[in-house]
Amino acid sequence: MTESYKGPEISDELGNLPIESAAERNPISRGTFRSILSTIDGRTVEELAKQYETPLFVFSEKRVRSQAQTMREAFRSRYPNTNFAWSFKTNRLDAICRILQQEGWSAEVVSSFEYGKARHLGYSGEQIVFNGPYKRRDSIERALREGALIQIDNWDELATIESVASELGGTYDVGVRVWLNSTHAPLWSKFGFNLANGEAYHAAQRIIDNPALRLHTLHCHIGTYLLDPEAYRLTVQALLGLRKELHDDTGHLVSCLNLGGGFPSNSLLHGMPGPTEKTIPTIDAYADAITSELGQLPEAEQPLLRLESGRYLVDEAGFLITSIVATKGAAYLHRPGSPLADLALKEKNLTGQPAKLSYVLDAGVNLLFTAAWFAINASPHRSVPGQLFPTRLLGDLCMEIDVIRENINLPHLSVGDYLTLHPVGAYNFDQSMQFIHLRPAVVLIDEAGEPHLIRQREDIEYVGSRERLPDHLDGG
């Protein structure tokens, strides 16, 4: 050895930290500290829960706008000719849609209902992109009349659009959804025309040959919660290849490439290692992968880039405040110094399964559809000293499958304590259902920290107003 040996050094911090820090540093320890969430944009969780009751959805206007601004800067700083459309299916609350409308987002809809909602909110037809595998004929006619861009999903839909366009007269911009293998998994195959077998090319050529239609967009949405930006780079390359082939053969240069969405929020799937900062790529990484290919084209050939994001924009802006309504099992773990606590640890060593405490919450999977896939974080509203315990979070539905988290480390909490589940802003409200319980209230906290009730808590009159009793059953 040519280098002299240097012994280990002891840093100055050793001996200056509390004893609990050893548990926090041990990666297999549950630790002794649990971060709390006592406020949302300056409003205390306790105040919101008491004013509006739990369960309660809360959305942060500041976070929605911040995400929109971050995404806009990431893409337009690299490729100025970028347009953004808000995915209505991700969250169709009027207030959320209006915020993104003010930020310059157009509307991306996938049903007649969503199309009508976008028009009701003031989006013009030209500001709407109409996606989805099924569009009713009357909706197609309305969209074409109003100047919306229909992105065609299949041959039957193409035939319907050809028929409607012929009846209406004129020429209408449309897009084609392309299905391709971008090497990520799982591979989506439900939507669009296959690129590899020539189906997408023939559909595009058929549109180009039709004087009533003008091929405006090649669209490809490869999946959701995609953690590999390179999948988008490959998708851009494939769409550019199709675009060039069509231009060479027909002389028509498609003016827009639509890469859909699928960008993840800072959330983790069950079993996925964290922290999110190390697992989830930044939006800049996706912007690099997508725009670097487009930026290499001659300026005259650079298309409009369109994106249809949802989860990335709104998931982290959404919270669900819940109350603990009951505790079940392993109650002895709460007794400091109890010999049964040691017994629980022995049981874990023998069975391989931790002795768990269960908290029953006043919100279930009827409000948290994404809990089946995502390990939604749960934070107490107050600091609780002491050991963390392996805990199961149960919903209040009369169903065994109503489990929000099978395992999460939490301190000793009591009935009446609040837990805030986060992030839950994407899909959960839109996919919530009136199963056993009615839907809760929804509050938006504005940029000044003021709460606004943006959707009232449902009541029996609201639900009953849509039902009818046949005459022979009425009066009983």
User: What's the pLDDT score for residue 18?
Assistant: 47
CB-based contact 175:260 (threshold 8 Å): no
- The CA distance from 389 to 406, in Å, is 13
Quick one: CATH architecture of 92-309? Alpha-Beta Barrel (3.20)
The predicted pLDDT at position 1 comes to 45
Helix axes 155-168, 137-146, angle to 10 degrees: 50
Tokens of 217: 């967009």
pTM > 0.95:
no
Tokens of 311: 């989860």
Mean pLDDT, the chain, whole residue set: 89
Q: What is the pLDDT of residue 13?
A: 45
Q: Cβ distance 432 to 426 under 8 Å? A: no
Residues facing residue 394 across a β-bridge:
360, 403
Give the whole-angstrom CA distance, residue 194 versus residue 11: 60
Is-contact 114 344, C-beta < 8 A? no
* pLDDT (0 to 100) of residue 204: 98
Q: pLDDT tens across 372-410, in order?
A: 999 999 999 999 888 888 899 999 999 989 999 999 999
Second-level CATH architecture of 30-57+317-458? Beta Barrel (2.40)
Ranges in the chain, pLDDT < 50: 1, 10-30, 32-33, 334, 340, 347
Q: Are strands 377-380 and 418-422 parallel, antiparallel or unpaired?
A: antiparallel
CB distance 320 to 368 below 8 Å: yes
Asked if 143 and 165 count as a contact pair (C-beta separation under 8 A), the reply is no
What is the residue extent of each domain of the chain?
Answer: 30-57+317-458, 92-309
Question: What's the distance, CA 21 to chain centroid?
Answer: 34
Six-digit token string for 295: 């930026």
For 382, the 3-state DSSP assignment is: coil
H or E segment and range at residue 22: helix 20-25
Contact assessment for residue 398 and residue 337, using Cβ atoms and an 8 Å cutoff: no
